[in-house]
Structure 1
Amino acid sequence: MSISLTEAAARHVSRYLTRRGHGIGVRLGVKTTGCSGLAYKLEYVDELAPEDVVFEDRGVKVMVDPKSLAYIDGTQLDFVREGLNEGFKFLNPNERDRCGCGESFRI
């Protein structure tokens, strides 16, 4: 089981945590929503939850709850800039389909 980050994602998370002045990493998970069924959720973490599964890549900790891990195992988190937009991109080998708006996915 693994979750990884590109260099760009690790750099962005590290810079943000430094600017915040606190935090230990990010929590990656999924929630039921949207037209395809699942959507990613990402938040900065200040302390571990007892159930967290912790991955570390490029010096950044990524926490995942056990229920989400089945859906996102093998995912690589990237940070991209496209024109005026920037944000995280999820490269999930388990995805089978995405909705037209890009907000949700199906396994």
Structure 2
Amino acid sequence: MPSLRMMPKVMTLTDAAAARVATLIAQKPGVKALKIGIKKGGCAGMEYTMTWADQIGKFDEVIEDKGAIVLIDPAAIMYLLGTEMDFKTDKLSSQFVFNNPNQKSACGCGESVNLEPAPAVPEGFAPADR
């Protein structure tokens, strides 16, 4: 039987993103996590979704990083592999930013993206934290 090697997490969080997620969850009674997904829409084809979760779904990927809990919708995992989530603040806005290696393009306004699934997982790799 071949030995199994651990895969990297689906998503990582910067210190700024983790701190912001943890702060927001603490302000929302009954909320356990921030759930990230994707949906079809926008001029580039896909949009990131973010919702509050009061429970962890059976197939959700759980990312616990720096005190924050983020869930990844199972349908979004292949589109988010290797993504880093950041939180940026400038003079005009504060927002979460996804640095996603699977993103091929984005619309001019930055609201939608063109994502391709990550390549198939090589044989001998196992999901992390499972």
TM-score, normalised with respect to structure 2: 0.76
1:20 and 2:22 correspond: no
Contact 2:32–2:54, Cα closer than 8 Å, also in 1: yes
Secondary structure of the residue aligned to 2:43 is coil
Contact conserved, 2:25 with 2:34, CA < 8 A, in 1?
A: no
CA contact (8 A) 1:55 1:63 kept: yes
Tell me, yes or no, if structure 1 residue 4 matches structure 2 residue 12.
yes
Point out the structure with the larger helix share: 1
* Pair 1:36-2:40 in alignment: no
Supply the AA of the counterpart residue of 2:108: G
Output the amino acid matched with 2:36: L
The CA deviation at 1:33 is 0.1
Secondary structure at the residue paired with 1:29? Answer: strand
Task: List runs of 5+ in structure 1 lacking aligned partners.
Answer: none
How far does residue 97 in structure 1 lie from its aligned partner after superposition? 0.4
Give the superposition deviation at 1:102.
Answer: 0.9
Inter-partner Cα distance in structure 1 for 2:10 and 2:78: 11
Q: 5 Å matches for 1:27-66?
A: 27-66=35-74
Overall identity of the aligned pairs, in %: 36
Partner of 1:76: 84
What is the root-mean-square deviation of aligned Cα atoms in Å?
1.3
Number of aligned positions between the proteins: 107
Using structure 1 for the length normalisation, give the TM-score. Answer: 0.91
> 1:59: Cα distance to partner?
2.1
